[in-house]
């Protein structure tokens, strides 16, 4: 099926856009309709290796076709990726439509329909108001944008004046962020069921809107979201326990939840630095339905950006507040009659609920009433901007988890680029970083040839 799809796409491009591999600029293909076509992309070989669980987490080759057609007041965009290789010791051949949408615009309005990646927020890397685009957190490369996933959305952007616009987005299809905890040993005899995908109904659609302003002295926005969160939790679907032999089997189900969110963000450039801030009040619905739904919280980020001696520095404080916080208490075996099989089963079920509730709180960063973390990003270009070095780091004061992500890229010439990066996560036992480090710790190499 995938090979057949690739054949028809290649044939269509060849018939409609002769010589597409030779051109990276807009070219007039029909003077009567004034249609302009832009085609470019790259071929790359990449690998992520050196991890504790997998020596080669992935190794693959990929071709990207990026096409854009402009005509009158319309625009078509397609970003298609085809890759083949090995990931988590399994062979794969993937055909990914990164983005595919059409749009219409006039002096005031811009309407786009199709699979799009829409990122809101003004802070760096940590964006409380980025409600819309999910991520594949376990697609590991040196380019974090590779993790972005598109979703089918209808977007209407209306310009009130040159500085202020209104953004309305309707998302009829839910697409979650992808975790791969099935690859990680988070507990004995724990298995994961298929994702509980919401049905395609009007009641399950998502809606978002934003009022955005960009002035020379400051930029800011106010946003609202109502729909399924791109994050999701895990519900305890089934627990089987045999008191006779002590065997235990737990089946967890990845399950989405709906929420409402109100957010604001701003950026203020000054003569010596840029000040940025972003916050969102998240209000999940139907919290009583299960452990997979987080508590309401206020998630906020404050940061400054400044250039010092040619280095670009971005320092951010990342905080979270849970207004109605209640601590979890582990079941005490002394309160159960462990000689009674029924009491044994009750203790195991209560302990399972406790462990999974604690795990979900780790996913949502809600272990404590207040969360405190800092992030730092440093970058500098060398050799007339041909070489760029970056270092990203984060430390969580509450959970004592930390992360370092270095990267160096070299633009050898106009067509060839090589990147070398790495990632190191560390945290206490049973923390998310401790669980994930066996896969995510490692080095990456990325070689690209652009066309």
Task: Express each pLDDT in 408-429 by its tens digit.
Answer: 999 999 999 999 999 999 999 9
Query: pLDDT tens, 102-131?
Result: 999 999 999 999 999 999 999 999 999 999
- pLDDT over 60 (residue 252): yes
Note the pLDDT of residue 242: 77
Sequence-distant (6+) residues with CB within 8 A of 322 are 295, 296, 297, 366, 368, 369, 370
Which positions ≥6 away from 116 have C-beta within 8 Å? 99, 101, 150, 151, 153, 155
Positive or negative torsion for Cα 374, 441, 132, 68: positive
- Going from the C-alpha of 81 to that of each of 2, 6, 185, 385, the distances in angstroms are 12, 10, 31, 28
Residue 36, classified by CB atoms within 10 Å of its CB into exposed (0-12), middle (13-18) or buried (19+), is middle
pLDDT at 393: 98
pLDDT for the residue numbered 33: 54
**How crowded is residue 449: how many other Cβ atoms within 10 Å of its Cβ?**
14
Q: What pLDDT score was predicted for residue 9?
A: 47
| Contacts (Cβ under 8 Å, ≥6 apart) of 270 | none
Q: Residue 5 above 90 pLDDT? A: no
Give the right CATH number for 23-96+188-197+231-450 from 3.30.420, 2.40.160, 2.60.40, 3.40.50: 2.40.160
pLDDT band with cut points at 50, 70 and 90 for residue 20: very low
Point out the least confidently predicted range of 220-229, 231-240, 292-301.
231-240
Which residues are CB-neighbours of 359 under 8 A, at least 6 positions away?
186, 234
Lowest mean pLDDT among 189-203, 204-218, 241-255, 289-303: 241-255
Beta strands in 106-182 (DSSP E): 109-116, 151-161, 164-171
Asked if pLDDT for residue 341 goes beyond 90, the answer is: no
Q: What is the mean pLDDT of the chain?
A: 91
> What separation in angstroms does the CA of 350 have from each of 236, 330, 353, 355?
11, 8, 5, 9
Give me the residues paired with residue 303 across strands.
276, 316
Tokens encoding 121? 């927020």
SS3 100: strand
pLDDT band at 61 (very low <50, low <70, confident <90, very high): very high
What is the mean predicted confidence (pLDDT) over 85-96? 96
Banded model confidence at residue 248, pLDDT cuts 50, 70, 90: confident
The Cα–Cα gap between 358 and 379 comes to: 37
Give 375-438 as a DSSP string. EEEEEEEETTTTEEEEEEEEEETTT--EEEEEEEEEE-SSSEEEEEEEEEEE-STTSHHHHHHH
| Pairwise pLDDT comparison (71 vs 151), residue with the higher score | 151
């Amino acid at each position: 099926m995938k090979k057949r799809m690739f054949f028809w796409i290649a044939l269509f491009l060849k018939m409609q856009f002769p010589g597409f591999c030779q051109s990276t600029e807009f070219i007039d293909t029909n003077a009567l309709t004034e249609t302009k076509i832009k085609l470019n992309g790259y071929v790359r070989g990449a690998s992520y290796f050196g991890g504790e669980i997998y020596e080669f987490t992935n190794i693959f080759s990929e071709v990207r076709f990026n096409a854009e057609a402009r005509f009158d007041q319309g625009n078509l965009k397609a970003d298609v990726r085809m890759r083949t290789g090995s990931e988590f010791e399994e062979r794969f051949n993937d055909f990914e439509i990164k983005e595919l949408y059409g749009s219409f615009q006039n002096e005031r309005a811009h309407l786009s329909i199709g699979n799009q990646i829409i990122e809101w927020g003004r802070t760096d890397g940590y964006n409380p108001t980025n409600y819309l685009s999910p991520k594949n957190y376990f697609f590991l490369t040196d380019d974090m944008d590779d993790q972005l996933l598109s979703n089918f959305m209808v977007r209407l952007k209306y310009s009130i004046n040159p500085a202020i616009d209104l953004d309305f987005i309707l998302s009829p299809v839910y697409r979650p962020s992808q975790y791969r905890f099935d690859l990680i040993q988070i507990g004995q005899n724990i298995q994961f069921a298929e994702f509980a995908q919401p049905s395609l109904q009007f009641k399950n659609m998502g809606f978002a809107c934003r009022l955005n302003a960009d002035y020379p002295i400051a930029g800011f926005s106010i946003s609202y979201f109502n729909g399924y969160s791109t994050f999701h939790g895990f519900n305890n679907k089934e627990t089987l326990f045999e008191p006779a032999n002590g065997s235990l089997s737990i089946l967890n189900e990845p399950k989405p939840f709906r929420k409402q969110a109100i957010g604001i963000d701003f950026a203020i450039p000054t003569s010596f630095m840029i000040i940025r801030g972003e916050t969102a009040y998240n209000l999940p619905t139907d919290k009583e339905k299960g452990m997979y739904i987080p508590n309401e919280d206020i998630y906020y980020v404050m940061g400054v950006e400044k250039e010092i001696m040619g280095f670009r520095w971005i320092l951010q404080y990342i905080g979270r507040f849970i207004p109605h916080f209640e601590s979890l208490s582990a079941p005490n075996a002394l309160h159960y009659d462990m000689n009674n099989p029924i009491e044994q089963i009750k203790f195991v079920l209560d302990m399972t609920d406790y462990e999974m509730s604690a795990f979900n709180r780790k996913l949502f960063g809600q272990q404590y009433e207040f969360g405190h973390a800092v992030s730092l990003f440093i970058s500098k270009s060398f050799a007339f901007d041909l070489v760029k070095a970056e270092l990203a780091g984060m430390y969580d004061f509450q959970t004592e988890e930390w992360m370092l992500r270095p990267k160096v890229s070299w633009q050898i010439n106009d067509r060839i680029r090589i990147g070398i990066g790495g990632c190191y996560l560390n945290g206490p036992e049973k923390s998310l970083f401790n669980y994930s480090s066996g896969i995510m710790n490692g080095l990456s190499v990325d070689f690209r040839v652009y066309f």
